[in-house]
Chain A
């Protein structure tokens, strides 16, 4: 089966850095995605990791350790608009089929 675990809620202040962790156990692995979802909207793609290491894209970075079944999303220079749910998703043995975690609701305070 598939099990993806991430914290339910996190809070941070504007301008700070926050790290959202995700651990997973899946049968087969073809990559890990991070999505951002604002309330009432569809998820938008943030990052994709298939190899170990850090992928940096502007204010957002994502890290993967396949041996540990662990990933994190790092958000720098937080802005109010970053308040959203962040979803960790893993592609298992079937390409394109995503297994989602419950999402981490991030609230950024001024």
Chain B
């Protein structure tokens, strides 16, 4: 089946630094990737939709200058949390979608970000 990887699986950083999270589709080409954030005991909240070769579409309330998304190829999307603060500490999950079909959104294993 389709496999999506994320790197790193966890990261601890100091407040004010930037952190980059990678999302890769390992055995398929993903025209669309999605970035979610999940706080403890909360559901997944979509942050942005990333399409290869074009600008990401951000959900209302998500700062595009703080959460930079780059989808440079059909197998890689990156999320950079700039000037991270403790309130950005969360579980970040990406998913990749094939074009068309029902169950075509495959989730990565997630990245646990802790900002000190």
Contact = CB atoms under 8 A, between A and B. Distances in A.
B109 A98 contact: no
Interface residues of B, number: 24
Interface size class of A (residues with CB under 8 A): 20 to 34
A100 B107 CA distance: 14
Nearest to B45: A100
A35 B110 CA distance: 15
Contacts of A76: none
Given A42-B108, A42-B109, A87 B43 contact: yes
A100 B44 contact: yes
A96 B32 contact: yes
Contacts of A95: 100
Contact of B43 (A31, A33, A50, A102): A102
A48 interface: yes
A105 B103 CA distance: 23
Interface string A77-110: 0000000000100000001111111110100000
Given A42-B93, A45-B103, A48-B103, A103 B43 contact: yes
Given A40-B112, A42-B110, A96 B104 contact: yes
A56 to B, nearest CB: 16
A35 B44 CA distance: 11
Contacts of B105: 96, 98
Residue of B41, B91, B105 with most partner-chain A CB within 10 A: B105
A44 interface: yes
Contact of B102 (A31, A99, A103): A31
B97 A101 contact: no
A53 interface: no
Given A42-B107, A42-B108, A50 B102 contact: yes
A86 B46 CA distance: 17
11 contacts: A40-B91, A40-B112, A43-B93, A45-B103, A48-B102, A87-B44, A97-B49, A98-B105, A100-B45, A102-B42, A103-B42
The 10 closest A-B pairs by CB, nearest first: A96-B97, A42-B107, A102-B43, A100-B43, A100-B44, A42-B110, A48-B103, A48-B102, A103-B43, A42-B109
